[in-house]
Structure 1
Amino acid sequence: MKPLLLLDVDGVLNPMGRPNPDFRRYRCTVGGEVYTVHLNPRHGRRLLDLALTTGSELVWATTWEHHANDWIAPRIGLPSLPVISLSPDVPCEQGEMFKTPHVAAYAGRRPFVWFDDQVWAEDEEYLRVRQGLTDFLLVHVDPERGLTSRHLGMAHDWLTLTGFSQGS
């Protein structure tokens, strides 16, 4: 079972704070709405390298859903990725984020690293206690700064040190 690398967009690949010069500004139209996103084209290569060196599979875990393949992936150099469907009909039970039950259902028993700016202790508790999952790492990303080398290093270390990495 390949481990999963789950990616959020807003706050992770598209920081909310003032982006540094490595980021480029884009306008995206989704469902008639125009969004401005700031993306670092190097993120794609770095995420692909992480997936390759750890034998992991990249998956979108974002409210952008399939739009991430149209608007985000090509601008940072990612191929089209699988998408976790985030239908709004799953109620939150213990303060977990609305995405968390969907992530649990998608991952099943596969180990995963989840990069998101809204994962907290409630999400970890939900996954461990309610879903009985143990093989995951939640990487909270500061939404003002977005994804950094430190986050990628945490994922790499966890996957390789726990033995989930299939690439080493």
Structure 2
Amino acid sequence: MKPLVLVDIDGVLNPFGRPSADFRRYRCVLDGEVYMVHLNPRHGTWLLELAVRAGAELVWATTWEHHANAWISPRLGLPRLPVIRVPHQEAGEAGEMFKTPHVAEYVKGRPFVWFDDLLFAGDERYLRDHPEVGDFLLVQVAPDRGLTRRHVDLAAEWLTLSGFSQGP
């Protein structure tokens, strides 16, 4: 089964802290709301390299949902990606965040890496206990800094050493 690489935007590709000079500032309008996002074009390159190297499929796991393909993908040089619908709701009884049940349903036993800034012990417990979830790696990204090369390398190493890599 082809592994998945799930990607969040806010706090991962769009850090909340003061971005470095590598980031570009964009004004996005979503459903009449104006957002300022800071994006690093290298993130797109890193994610594409990871997908090719691991033979993985990139997937948006973000509240931006399909807006990610309109606003984020083109600015990072990414193609249109599949989207996991993650409507806002309360955290679950196991302490998992609102996205986690939707991720569990989407992966259907495929191995996956998930880059997010809101992953905690409750999310790991929920995923380990869910019957539709196989092997996974949760990569907690510091929201003030965003995705780093170290995060991507960690994901590549896990996919390769775990035998999930489908790449060349």
Corresponding residue for residue 76 of structure 2: 76
Superposed counterparts of 1:139-150, under 5 Å: 139-150=139-150
- Measured in 2, the distance between the counterparts of 1:82 and 1:134 equals 20
Structure 1 residue 133 displacement after superposition: 3.0
Corresponding residue for residue 67 of structure 2: 67
Evaluate the alpha carbon distance shift between residue 91 and residue 118 of structure 1 in structure 2; reply closer, same or farther with a 3 A threshold.
closer
Deviations 1:4-49 (A, max 9, x none): 0000000000000000000000000001000000000111111001
Secondary structure of 2:20's counterpart equals coil
Corresponding residue for residue 118 of structure 2: 118
- Measured in 2, the distance between the counterparts of 1:123 and 1:39 equals 26
Q: 2:90 touches 2:97 (CA, 8 Å); kept in 1?
A: no
Q: 1:90 touches 1:101 (CA, 8 Å); kept in 2?
A: no
**Structure 1 residue runs without a partner (length 5+):** none
Corresponding residue for residue 37 of structure 1: 37
Q: Which amino acid aligns with 1:4?
A: L
Deviations 1:133-158 (A, max 9, x none): 34000000000000001100110000
Q: 2:84 touches 2:102 (CA, 8 Å); kept in 1?
A: yes
- Measured in 2, the distance between the counterparts of 1:3 and 1:146 equals 23
Corresponding residue for residue 22 of structure 1: 22
Percent identity between matched residues is: 67
Deviations 1:40-65 (A, max 9, x none): 01111110010000000000000000
Structure 1 residue 66 displacement after superposition: 0.2
Structure 1 residue 90 displacement after superposition: 8.0
Corresponding residue for residue 96 of structure 1: 96
Superposed counterparts of 1:118-137, under 5 Å: 118-131=118-131, 133-137=133-137
The worse-fitting range, judged by mean Cα deviation, of 59-68 and 121-130 is: 121-130
- Measured in 2, the distance between the counterparts of 1:113 and 1:22 equals 25
Q: 2:107 touches 2:133 (CA, 8 Å); kept in 1?
A: no
- Measured in 1, the distance between the counterparts of 2:28 and 2:15 equals 15
- Measured in 2, the distance between the counterparts of 1:92 and 1:123 equals 9
**Structure 2 residue runs without a partner (length 5+):** none
TM-score when normalising by structure 1: 0.96
Corresponding residue for residue 152 of structure 2: 152
Q: 2:89 touches 2:98 (CA, 8 Å); kept in 1?
A: no
What do you get for the CA RMSD once the two structures are aligned?
Answer: 1.3
Secondary structure of 1:73's counterpart equals helix
Corresponding residue for residue 48 of structure 1: 48
Structure 1 residue 86 displacement after superposition: 1.3
